[in-house]
Every structure is written in C-alpha cells, then in structure tokens.
Amino acid sequence: MRNDPLPRRPSNGVESLDRGLRLLQLLRDDGSVRVADAAEHLGTARSTAHRLLSTLVYRGFAVIDDDHVYRPGPSMDAGTARLAWTKELRRICHPHLLLLSRRAGQSSNLMVRTGLQVRFLETVESAAPRRTRDRQGIIMSASKASGGKAILARFTDERIASMYREARDEDRLNAHELTALLRELRSIRRSGYAVNRGETERDVAAVGSAIESSDGSEIGAFSVSVQSDLLTASLQEHLIELVLSARQEIARDVRDSDLHADTGDGSA
C-alpha cells in the first residue's frame, strides 16, 4: 500500500546471514513467497522464517501485500549506486547531520539520486522517544521524498519532463502528476527547500534541501524527518531555518573539499 510507514526493526534481527541470502534468492527466482513456503525452503520454524522476512521488509528487499505474500522490494533491483564519491560525501556531511539532529531534536538523513529514485546513505537518529527510524539503504521516489524533490528542482522543467517521459513504468507520472510536480519544483527553486507531508510514509513528514558540488551540479540531498502529527506550523518554520542554515554549512565544506559528482542525469 502507498504511504505505509516503514516497518519496525524486528526484535531479533537477522538470525543467519546464509538463510537471509537464501530467502533473497528465493524471492528473486520465484517472485513471491509465503511464510510457510520460506520455512519449508529453509528447513526452519515459521517463526524463524517470519523474522527473516520481516528483516528483509525492513531493509526494503521485500514487501508484503494484503494477502500476506512477500514479494521483491525496491532495494532488490535497485543495483549498486557505483558512486565513488559517496564515501567522501558521507564523511563531509556526517558532522552536519549530527548537529542538525541535535538542534532539531529529530532524525536527519543523507541521500543521493539514482535515476528517479533516492537512496538513503545515512540516518542520524534522534534520541527523542517519538522519532523517525533509520532509513539507511532505503529507496524512495525522488518526486515524493523531500530531498529527492530538492534534487529534482536543480533541473529545468524541460529536463524533468524528458526524464519522466523516458522513465520505467513504476516511475512514470501521468500528465496531472507531472504538472503538479513541476509546479512544486518551481516553488522549491525559489525557496531552497522542499517539504514532504506523508507522501512517502503516511505518518512521516520531512524538510529537505539539495547539496551542490563546487561547480554547482547536484550531488545529493539531506533532510530532517519528524512524525507528521508533531509537525506544527511553528516547528516546520523552525526546521526550515535549521535546514537552510545546514545547507550553507554543508556547501562550505563541500567547496573546501572540491568534491564533484562524476555522474550523468540518469544515474546520479
């Protein structure tokens, strides 16, 4: 279902790496699996198979439908980012994410664009009892995630329209959706930040901004995320101020490092 919250981390985590990899192979080769099938395939109890499948769901390698059937998730076919500079980007941004999370009292995130999706590279979780959870490795639609929208706003309307015309079926937008996105991206270009209110997860909101390399090209984005019902108008304004301040601080360190994104439009 769309806008579902990210699943909670299973209490026991991955019980066996080998079993988890075998389940990945089963999902890849069969396209779907039930708990009973997984237990039989692995030769384990159903409870063990369920914990393993829940861990795959948590990391985006599987999704579960309304009939309790597990199918391959978005992380299964996303491929590797193959971006040699992402390690350096994480190094530069990590202290800023820590500071942003501490100032906001909320979780902060770092992401890069891969086609028309964003891949989360890191999350700094807040210590608050009600916080958004770790998103590292998660794949989300760039047109819905706040950081993704901030990255897309770096492109012209014509380029955005071309990208979505050439998109895979799962990423394609209809005419109404594309018009609405272009309208929103124009606003983001003026303001320097993007907001996601329940577009990726119904109970989560986020404020994000793009990260530019020293030559002005897109290199990634960051965001601060919060439980939707906590996002009052005053808190949103506060988060926007913090994000715009962090954007300047990150931009300074990126310039000093001379970090560049050696990518093209389709794979960054």
Structure tokens at 118: 């964003």
Q: Are 247 and 192 within 8 A, CB to CB? A: yes
Question: What are the residues facing 225 on neighbouring strands?
Answer: 107, 206
Average pLDDT (13-17) is: 60
Q: What's the confidence (pLDDT) of residue 79? A: 58
| Residue 191 reports pLDDT greater than 90 | yes
Average pLDDT (239-264) is: 87
Q: Are 236 and 247 within 8 A, CB to CB? A: no
All structural domains of the chain, each given as residue ranges with its CATH number in brackets, are 17-72 (1.10.10.10), 86-257 (3.30.450.40)
Q: What's the confidence (pLDDT) of residue 1? A: 47
Q: What's the whole-number average pLDDT of the chain?
A: 88
Q: What's the confidence (pLDDT) of residue 218? A: 87
pLDDT grade, residue 43 (50/70/90)?
confident
Q: What's the confidence (pLDDT) of residue 161? A: 97
Q: What's the confidence (pLDDT) of residue 9? A: 59
The amino acid occupying position 221 is: A
pLDDT grade, residue 2 (50/70/90)?
low
- Beta strand spans in the chain (E): 62-64, 70-72, 107-114, 117-124, 139-141, 194-197, 204-212, 218-227
Q: What percent of the chain has pLDDT over 70?
A: 90
Tell how strand 218-227 and strand 107-114 pair up: antiparallel
| Residue 165 reports pLDDT greater than 50 | yes
Q: What distance in Å separates the CA atoms of residue 140 and residue 208, rounded to the nearest whole number? A: 14
Higher pLDDT pick, 195 / 23: 195
Average pLDDT (33-57) is: 90
Q: What's the confidence (pLDDT) of residue 84? A: 66
Q: What's the confidence (pLDDT) of residue 180? A: 97
Higher pLDDT pick, 23 / 179: 179
Q: What's the confidence (pLDDT) of residue 263? A: 45
Higher pLDDT pick, 81 / 130: 130
Average pLDDT (147-168) is: 96
Q: What's the confidence (pLDDT) of residue 222? A: 99
Residue written as tokens 């500071």?
A: 99
pLDDT grade, residue 59 (50/70/90)?
confident
Average pLDDT (162-176) is: 91
Higher pLDDT pick, 83 / 8: 8
- Residue-wise pLDDT for 90-135, tens only, equals 999 999 999 999 999 999 999 999 899 999 999 999 999 999 988 8
